[in-house]
Amino acid sequence: MTYSIVTGAPGWLGTRIVHSLVHGVADCPALGPTARTTRCLVLPDADASELEALGAEIVRGDVTDPATLAKLFDGADGATVFHSAGVVHPTKGMRQFRDVNATGTRNMLEAAKTARIRRFIHVSSNSPLGTNPSKEHVFDESAPYHPYMRYGKTKMLGEQAVRAVSEFEWVIIRPPWFYGPGQPPRQSVFFSMVRDGKAPIVGSGDNRRSMAYVDNICQGLVLCDRVAGAAGNIYWIADRTPYTMNDIVGTIEKVLETDFQIACKHKRMKLPGIASSVAYGVDGFLQSIGVYAQKIHVLSEMNKTIACTIEKAERELGYDPKVALEEGMRRSLAWVLERGPLPAS
């Protein structure tokens, strides 16, 4: 039996990866279901019912505990690993960044060496590269490391550990801010803020953000598994073009009103660009003393451009993102509203 091993499920992206492996990638008929058995590493207290309904094997464990990984890799000769486990906003203190993003990745790599897997596909982030030097600039795969805060540093350490491996094939993808069905509550609150005229625009709002619809990311991941030449490469995986913050908020307003008849106030919570600069300084200080303040961290990025080009993935993988911002937000909102009204902003 050959396996696809997935970490990060039942988290948002991890679960979507399992869907893509079991049912094929949405909107991509050529990327149909895999013949391999899907096995997921699931935290001991996490609800695995959706994964079990998809037919996945469940192994209870934690990337931070090497002793629990032996069962995950049992009989995994020739497997492909999709390593999406990571901490973006820690809930157990600043040390959680390093424990999961850096040490956890190294633990997975060591266990994979013993198991003689075929390929390790690592989900990284834009954060190891930091922010673009200008609004017009885009990152490509040759951009040097310049990590943004502690998250960026620990994701960089994870990437470096993967790149040092010679025992099996590896591929790294760098998705930016992603969105789509299955999103966490914080993203649903953002929809409510747009509805209520509270969406923050820091500075002019012309700073650009690359974003990635979740199924576009899954397409990229499956291609990284199936394209032989992907081995040993890094790819930016995102929607085709970056969007300005003004475009992002305006598109959500349009979809709310046109598709779901939800009236919007058409206002913005406008802040001067210096607000993000001040937040950046405060965030850096707080993180230096071991404190993470999510709202301050998010504000620190709001006036910055974080944009990439996907040309290498298009050229080498045949990557062809099917869902752009408006359709992606339409599907995201439909998923949220099927589960109840938008939350309070």
The full DSSP string for 139-177 is B-TTPPP---HHHHHHHHHHHHHHHT--SSEEEEEE--E
Residue 70 · residue 62 · CB < 8 Å: no
Q: Retrieve residue 53's tokens.
A: 């309904």
Backbone angles phi, psi at 200, to 5 degrees: -75, 130
Over residues 216-250, the pLDDT tens digits come to 999 999 999 999 999 999 999 999 999 999 999 99
Task: Give the C-alpha separation, 85 to 41, whole Å.
Answer: 9
> What pLDDT was estimated at residue 212?
97
Residue 79 · residue 117 · CB < 8 Å: yes
Beta bridge partners of 119: 80, 169
Q: Retrieve residue 27's tokens.
A: 């909107």
Task: Give the C-alpha separation, 39 to 66, whole Å.
Answer: 17
Task: Give the C-alpha separation, 269 to 206, whole Å.
Answer: 15
Over residues 33-62, the pLDDT tens digits come to 999 999 999 999 999 999 999 999 999 999
The full DSSP string for 287-319 is HHTT---HHHHHHHHTTS-B-B--HHHHHHH--
Nearest residue to 235 via CA among 121, 133, 97, 342: 121
Cβ neighbourhood burial of 339 (10 Å; 0-12, 13-18, 19+): exposed
Residue 186 · residue 337 · CB < 8 Å: no
Q: Check pLDDT > 90 for residue 68.
A: yes
pLDDT band (50, 70, 90) for residue 1: confident
Q: Which CATH superfamily is domain 3-183+210-242+306-323 in?
A: NAD(P)-binding Rossmann-like Domain (3.40.50.720)
- Domain limits, the chain: 3-183+210-242+306-323
Over residues 255-288, the pLDDT tens digits come to 999 999 999 999 999 999 999 999 999 999 999 9
Any idea what DSSP says for residue 133?
A: S
